[in-house]
Each structure stands twice: as structure tokens, then as C-alpha cells.
Amino acid sequence: MLAPYPPLPMNELSRQRLIDAHPCLVESNSDAFLDEVVKIAALYFKTPICLITILDRKRQWFRARVGTDLQETPRADSFCAYSVAIGDSVEVCDAQQDERFRCNPLVTGEPGIRYYAGMPLVLDGGLVLGNLCVIDTQPRPLMSAADKAMLEQIARLATTRLDEMRAAAFIDGTTGLYNHAKLDEDIGDAIERGENPLAVAIELVSPAQLNDMLKSLGFQFLTDFTLSVKNLLRSLLPASWELYKISALRFACAVPGNQLEQAQAVFATLLEAFSKPIHCQELPVLPQVGIGVLRLEPGAVPDDWMRLIVCAADEARSSGQGWAYYDEQMDAAQQRSNRLLNDLADAVRADDQLRLVFQPRVDLNTGACLSVEALLRWAHPTLGEISPAEFIPLAEKTPLIHAVSFWVISQAIHQIDAWRREGADLKVAINVSAADLNNDHLTDEIVRLLARNELDGSCLEVEFTESALVGDFSVVITQIERLQAMGVEIAIDDFGSGYSNWSYLRDIPANTVKLDRSFMEDLQPGRKDWNIVRALISLARELGQRVVAEGIETEHTLKIIREWGCQEAQGFYISRPLEAGDLLAWLSRCTFATSSSELA
């Protein structure tokens, strides 16, 4: 005969949510105060076993114990579950004579329970965490009223300590504010009361700004700055808006449902205040504020609502809006970005997702195609073709870009070697990110792969955009010079876009300047692009650099740039990017002449 399963309390969902929010209640490390409590109870009641139990979904955890080596038992076997269910004490004088327990494995087996007395550990609000219980392996008579009062008093001591531990887990150590766990509990309580609060996340700096602040100024500065921000926020927020710190320099508020109309005015006040520098240790720091807002309704609260307000805050900051309600489309875009980043890490290791295609680049004087640009393509197994314009900027924000660049380099050199075995001597241009030039890892990999394939560096051209030069310029120059010493050619890609620092043409030992494709869209006399392109071509040639025009889509554009002295060009008018096998076929059937009006 099986023992009956203990009943559930009416507020089990709320009780379990509280335990979930506080791992400290069920963790296995001992607490000196609770350990003393069970020792005192065991001594007073002269029992071999005394426990402080916490009832979880399927287990009964022993938060403190004396007289047993067990740390937990199944909830189905728990005596304490009966006390938790009714919220009152339970006493069993002889478990072998009690229908509820006589078949219980803790009675029929070890430790052989005969007597049990348990007092519930009740928090303010009526939620019962578990029990303080004393256990004997021999039957006993009912305890006296005085003994029951003593058991209740000792249980109250244990409850006080558990509540202290719970409260400590709610506090952010730096600011003394409540943390994300407390925010989650408070929002949940408000929803249970039938309220419709507004959850608000306040982001003060971008992740990059936070990282720079930490690296350049240290932890103490970050702590002082965080406290300055907290004090300013507290002075600006209504007293009824509880302030929480949910992550590094990210705060939150729970706005009462009856104050929603005032919220926009408060947001405007915050944006105005944080548009000015905050002075910390006599240094001014200009925040980059973003406020994310989500209205919560009873019965319709998303499980990940806190993530949603953080996403909204990040979007509001990065877009310059200042503050924004959560938007499903924006969130879908962010979730897609996260998925692409995760899946890209797998794609780099797979054999059938990433591939290179190659766009021919022709010499405008001879018509010959002596080089191609390697372009990365990704065939996602479920999402289909993903544009590099989407996934490369995402990868560039993470260390994953290094793995992508290494993959491209390896595949490009492998393809160069394969083409040469077929009699095609083509230079391949590869694109690298700004992060790739901030250390010597990429250069070391190129050296290794060229040597392994017995190839000269002249078979490669490394292209980078001007953004690579914004960091440590001396480190970048060192890597460029190392590559050039091997014969690798260097190209400044998309010149004229981005930072457009003309001094780069003077200071960087680049072999080639590639003009940004945006200038080629509508070259007409009298337009600014007309004068800019002509000037860039003239300047680069004067400095001894080869000029390549990207994005050539019409014969008209091709003729103009050739007349101005541009040496090479690529674009759809010449050829779209081609698979490796198709490129050789394209080369075999295409001939060029310097006087021809057609190049393909």
C-alpha cells in the first residue's frame, strides 16, 4: 500500500514563485545561525533529529539539520508538507499508527520515524516556506502547551533568519537599492492584486561606454559614478516610484497603475537631466540614456517581461529616441540578431553553410581580370540566405568576428591554391574588420597559411575600412607593415564613407584606394559626387596609389571614371559575384579591350 501524497496549500503558486526567486533558501551551504537553532531545539526537546525544511516542487530540502546526513527527501515523503498545507503545526505521536504515514518509506525504512512535531515557518503575508521539526525514532505522547509554545518560538527565530537571508538576496550591494529579483516579486504581487503597473528600465550608458569606463578609470570610478546616478535618479523620480538596480548602470522602476499619465512628463525630466554631463571624481561623463517601458496587465504578463523592457531601453538609447514603449517588431529584430549570432558560431564550424563567392575586378587600361574580391555568403539551414550586410555588423560587435575572418582567410587561400593548380593566377582581395587589425593574430594566421600552401603574399590583398584606423593607430600600422613585408597588398575599402579622414591617404602605406559605391550611383556634372570622385581619383594617383571603383552598374559610369584615370573597377555591369567554378568559366568566355565600350 502506497502512502498518500501530501496535500498542496491554496497559495502554492505564490509560495513556489517566492522560493524560485530566492535560491539562498534551498542552497546547500550551511548557515551558522540556523545550525544553532536546530541544535537548541534538539537539546530542548531531547530528540535525536531536528530539521529546518524548505518545501520545493518535488523535494524537501534540509536548510539546517542535526541527527541525519540526508540533505533532502522527496516531497511525497514529507511530513512537513502537511503542516505547510494547513499553515499550522502538525504532531504525530506514533507514525506507525497514523494512516497518513504508516507506509511512508521514512517510517518503514531509515531513519525509522515514529514521533514528529513540526511548526510552519510563516512569512509576513502568510506564505509558508517549510517547517521547524523535531523527530524521534520512538513514539511519544502529545507535547505540553508550554513545549508547543517553545517550538513555535524557536520556529519564529528560524523564520526571522530566513527572512533576513531573503531580504539580503534582494539588495544590490553597490547602491543599497532593491535588485531585479525584488522587482520581479513586486511586479508579480501588483499583478496578483489586479493592478496594471508600468515596468520601466533606465539604461544610462551603452555596453561599449561601460566597458571603456571600466578599462580606463577602474572599478572605484564605476562605483562612484553609479552612486551619483542613483542619487540623481532618486531626486528626480516621484516618491511612489520604487527604484531598483537590475544590472550594471541599468536601473528600473515599478510605476503604479494610477500614475501612467504622469509617466511621460517624468521621462522628459529624466532625459533633460541626463543630457548634461555627470561629474564624478572631477571628471565629466555624458550619459547615453535610454528608457524602456512596458504596460503590464493581469492575465497577460509575459514570462520574460524584464527582458522586454531592457530591449526597449536599449533600442531607445541606440536610436536616439530617449524613451520608447516595448515594440514587438523591434523585439523580433533583436531576437533574430541574437539567433543569427548564436547560429553563426555553429556555421563557422560546419562544412555546408558558409561559402565564398568572387566578384571580378578588371583593369580599365588592359581589360584584363587579374584579381577578384572574396565575398562571404551564408546559407542558413532554416532561414535561407542571410545577407552579409546583416550578419557581419553583428559579428563585428563580438569576438566571433575573429573566427569568421579566420574562416574567410583559410578558404580564400585554399581557393587560390586550387585555381593555380588549374592554371588560373588570380589575386584575391579579402575584407577584414577593425578588430582584426588591433592585434597580431590575423597576421600570424595569414603567415601560417601562406607558408603551409607554399604561396607568396602577392596572391592576397587585404581590404579594411577607415573604421579600423580609429583605435590604436600604431598597432594597425604595425600589422599593415608586416603584411606588406610578405608581399600582401593593402587596400582602404569604401573610402569616402565613414570617417573620411583624408590624412589616411598620406599616413597609411596602402597600395590601393577603393572608392565607396555610394558615389557611383548617379555621377552627373554639377553634382557633388561628380567633383568628389574626380578629386579622390586625382589625389590617390598623385600619392602613387591605385584607384578601384566599386559598384559600377552602367556603361556611363565606367566611361567617366576611366576618363578621370581610375585604374580598376568592379560591379554588376562587369559581373555579379560568382561561385568559384563559375568564375573560371566566366574568364574563359570573356575578353576585354581597352577601347571596347563593353567589358562583359
Question: pLDDT tens digit string along 328-366?
Answer: 777 777 788 889 999 999 999 998 999 999 999 999 988
For residue range 411-452, list pLDDT tens digits in order.
Answer: 999 999 999 988 888 999 999 887 888 888 889 999 999 999
Q: Are the C-beta atoms of 273 and 225 separated by less than 8 Å? A: no
- Domain end call among 263, 294, 326: 326
Torsional sign, CA 316, 321, 322, 323: negative
For residue range 276-321, list pLDDT tens digits in order.
Answer: 998 888 888 888 899 999 888 887 778 888 888 998 998 898 888 8
Q: Which residues are registered as beta bridge partners of 363? A: 568
Please check the confidence at residue 14 and state whether its pLDDT lies above 90: no
Residue 371 belongs to some domain of the structure: yes
Indicate whether 54 and 144 sit together in one domain. Answer: yes
> What number of other Cβ atoms are within 10 A of residue 397's Cβ?
13
Indicate whether 147 and 212 sit together in one domain. Answer: no
Residue 331 belongs to some domain of the structure: no
Integer Cα distance of 220 and 223 in angstroms: 5
For residue range 23-75, list pLDDT tens digits in order.
Answer: 888 887 889 999 999 999 999 999 999 999 999 989 999 999 999 999 999 99
Residue 380 belongs to some domain of the structure: yes
Indicate whether 165 and 270 sit together in one domain. Answer: no
Indicate whether 123 and 207 sit together in one domain. Answer: no
Indicate whether 533 and 432 sit together in one domain. Answer: yes
State the pLDDT at residue 528.
80
Integer Cα distance of 229 and 213 in angstroms: 14
CATH of the domain at 57: 3.30.450.40
Integer Cα distance of 513 and 522 in angstroms: 20
CATH of the domain at 511: 3.20.20.450
Please check the confidence at residue 3 and state whether its pLDDT lies above 80: no
For residue range 575-584, list pLDDT tens digits in order.
Answer: 999 999 899 8
CATH of the domain at 206: 3.30.70.270
Strands 59-66 and 72-74: antiparallel
Q: How many residues does the chain have?
A: 600
Q: Write phi, then psi, for 546 (nearest 5 degrees).
A: -75, 145
Most confident of 166-170, 189-193, 198-202, 516-520: 198-202
Residue 273 belongs to some domain of the structure: yes
Residue 6 belongs to some domain of the structure: no
Indicate whether 453 and 314 sit together in one domain. Answer: no
Indicate whether 285 and 366 sit together in one domain. Answer: no
Indicate whether 581 and 462 sit together in one domain. Answer: yes
Q: Are the C-beta atoms of 440 and 482 separated by less than 8 Å? A: yes
- Domain end call among 169, 193, 208: 169
Cell numbers for 172, please give them: 544590490
For residue range 206-251, list pLDDT tens digits in order.
Answer: 877 888 888 888 889 888 999 999 999 999 999 889 999 998 889 9
Give 496 or 592, the one with higher predicted confidence. 496
User: Shortest CA distance to 45 belongs to which of 116, 126, 130?
Assistant: 116
Residue 452 belongs to some domain of the structure: yes
Residue 598 belongs to some domain of the structure: no
Residue 24 belongs to some domain of the structure: yes
SS3 180: helix
State the pLDDT at residue 543.
81
- Domain end call among 298, 326, 354: 326
Per-residue CA distances from 34 to 80, 156, 294, 582 (Å): 17, 11, 41, 75
Q: Are the C-beta atoms of 526 and 497 separated by less than 8 Å? A: no
Indicate whether 23 and 158 sit together in one domain. Answer: yes
State the pLDDT at residue 195.
87
Please check the confidence at residue 76 and state whether its pLDDT lies above 80: yes
State the pLDDT at residue 594.
38
Number of folded domains that form the chain = 3
Cell numbers for 582, please give them: 563559375
The one-letter amino acid code at 347 reads: A
* Domain coverage including residue 446: 337-589
State the pLDDT at residue 194.
87
Kindly indicate the confidence band of residue 170, based on its pLDDT and cuts at 50, 70 and 90: confident
State the pLDDT at residue 2.
53
> What percent of the chain has pLDDT above 90?
49
Please check the confidence at residue 505 and state whether its pLDDT lies above 90: no
DSSP for 483-506, written as a single string: HHHTT-EEEEEEETBTT--THHHH
Integer Cα distance of 495 and 500 in angstroms: 7
Give long-range contacts, CB 8 A cutoff, 24+ apart: 519-527: 520/549, 520/550, 520/551, 520/552, 520/553, 520/557, 520/561, 520/571, 521/551, 523/556, 523/557, 523/560, 523/561
Indicate whether 195 and 309 sit together in one domain. Answer: yes
Indicate whether 277 and 400 sit together in one domain. Answer: no
Read off the pTM.
Answer: 0.59
Indicate whether 420 and 546 sit together in one domain. Answer: yes
Please check the confidence at residue 598 and state whether its pLDDT lies above 60: no
